[in-house]
Amino acid sequence: MRILIIGTLNGQIGAASQISIKRGATVQQADTVEAGLQALRSGQGADLALIDVSLEIEKLIQSLESERITIPVVACGTGTDTQAAVKAIRAGAMEYLPLPPDAELIAAVFEAIAEESHAIIHRDPRMAEVLRLADQVAPSDASILITGPSGTGKEVMARNIHNKSKRKGGPFIAVNCAAIPENLLESELFGHEKGAFTGAVARRLGKFEEANGGTLLLDEISEMDPRLQAKLLRALQEREIDRVGGKSPVKVNVRIVATSNRNMEEAVAKGDFREDLFFRLNVMNLRLPELRERPEDVPVLAEYFVKKYAEANGVDELPICPDAMSMLCGHSWPGNVRELENTMHRAILLASGQEIDTDAIMLTDPQGAKNGPLATATNSGDGQSMVGRTVAEVERDLIIDTLTHCLGNRTHAANILGISIRTLRNKLKLYGDQGFTVPNPGEAGTGAS
């Protein structure tokens, strides 16, 4: 865990740093928001930013978003300034950490950020064989292409490879090639000089330089624009990159792991992906099987996710009743492990007895419709058909109905809907401004006010 502490924290920075270091973290410190941003732009990288609550947290988060620097922010402060804490959370801070620092509380924050070490949970022989191959090639510096449908755990496998490689002491940097527009992805990968384009307010090192000495994951690489594929191929061949607006190449030492949910051979045959780049990346191919191809993993993964989300939501860990487990094992899982994870997260929130029974299990049928008690409540629409309604109207009713089901609990509703709490809050504010009644915590009821 790499920690960036921004601010002096009224003399508590030494204690916070020491606790972090004892927990295995590496710590760097910057006095101001601008100094912290400069450290991140320079490629030093961090997995978590701890910022003094008295500083301009909103400015930090807005700058991170505009410059596409992805890092969770936790506000810290001494005393009992609850208003400052609330303001920090509203500005986008993930959590508020009171000071003087508590070792166990800091450890809990680290664990939440780290997502419990990225272990791959499995029991099925087919998955065991894939892991055996991954472990065999992990110590090398060879490029690896991980393929498989969405939701099978390709990024988790990539992290597993990094953690078992000779580069495990170096950074692991991930870039989603499908989520970033082509005109911005070049700068994201290779960095840019100040003034290279509109919005380039300062020099920023790209992911290649940030991953120097470690592993760079190019997630969904098959979505990369062909022009950028050519520049990527040169970077891999020459082991050097050119920053956007730069005048001289920069040497890099990076191990590449790439992922795709497409058939790469077909993409090459159609001309959508460069053949020479494909061969450069595909030194070793690991194909992750769909969840329905590894049926023995369903029970062990279901139990793992129950434990995980029971702890995350502060509720009792309940056993899965035999009928519910039969439902899970008989499902086709078109969304793979990610769908199973979301299903068990919802089950934890919906379970009302001494075990997780079938009433708490919401599954998707082959046509994409949901079944289960909440699905009945949200899909019925009081007998109205969705035909003739706008997507925005259907989305609004789904969100408000789910919030009503959760008695106004925003966190539970966001978890069930699969969206962030910030997105949910923004949607609810919009609906309130439009005149719709939004349930408060402990309340129910919908409709125009």
How many CB atoms neighbour CB 292 within 10 A? 12
- Predicted confidence at residue 309, as pLDDT, reads 85
Between 81-90, 156-165, 243-252, 312-321, the lowest mean confidence (pLDDT) is in: 81-90
Q: Give me the mean pLDDT over the 376-405 stretch.
A: 68
How many CB atoms neighbour CB 339 within 10 A? 18
More confident residue, 42 or 283: 283
- Predicted confidence at residue 380, as pLDDT, reads 45
What pLDDT digit, counting tens, does each position of 221-240 carry? 998 998 899 999 999 999 99
Look up the CATH number of domain 2-114: 3.40.50.2300
Q: Give me the mean pLDDT over the 335-343 stretch.
A: 89
Between 147-161, 297-311, 369-383, the lowest mean confidence (pLDDT) is in: 369-383
120-289 and 2-114 share a CATH fold: yes
CATH class (in words) of the domain with range 120-289: alpha beta
CATH class (in words) of the domain with range 376-433: mainly alpha
pLDDT interval class at 447 (50, 70, 90):
very low
Cβ partners under 8 Å of residue 147, min gap 6: 154, 259, 260, 261, 262, 263, 264, 285, 286, 287, 288
pLDDT cut 70: percent of the chain above it? 82
pLDDT value at 165 more than 70: yes
- Predicted confidence at residue 398, as pLDDT, reads 86
How many whole angstroms separate alpha carbon 327 and alpha carbon 322? 9
| Every domain of the chain and the residues it spans | 2-114, 120-289, 292-371, 376-433
**Among 368, 324, 380, residue whose Cα is nearest residue 350:** 324
What pLDDT digit, counting tens, does each position of 100-131 carry? 766 666 666 665 555 544 568 889 999 999 99
- Predicted confidence at residue 11, as pLDDT, reads 63
pLDDT interval class at 415 (50, 70, 90):
confident
Q: Give me the mean pLDDT over the 158-178 stretch.
A: 90
pLDDT value at 139 more than 80: yes
Q: What's the topology of domain 292-371?
A: Helicase, Ruva Protein; domain 3 (1.10.8)
pLDDT cut 90: percent of the chain above it? 36
Q: Give me the mean pLDDT over the 122-145 stretch.
A: 94
Instruction: Kindly tell me the burial class for residue 272, based on how many C-beta atoms sit within 10 Å of its own C-beta (0-12, 13-18, 19 or more).
Output: middle
Between 138-142, 270-274, 361-365, 373-377, the lowest mean confidence (pLDDT) is in: 373-377
How many CB atoms neighbour CB 434 within 10 A? 10
Q: Give me the mean pLDDT over the 164-193 stretch.
A: 88
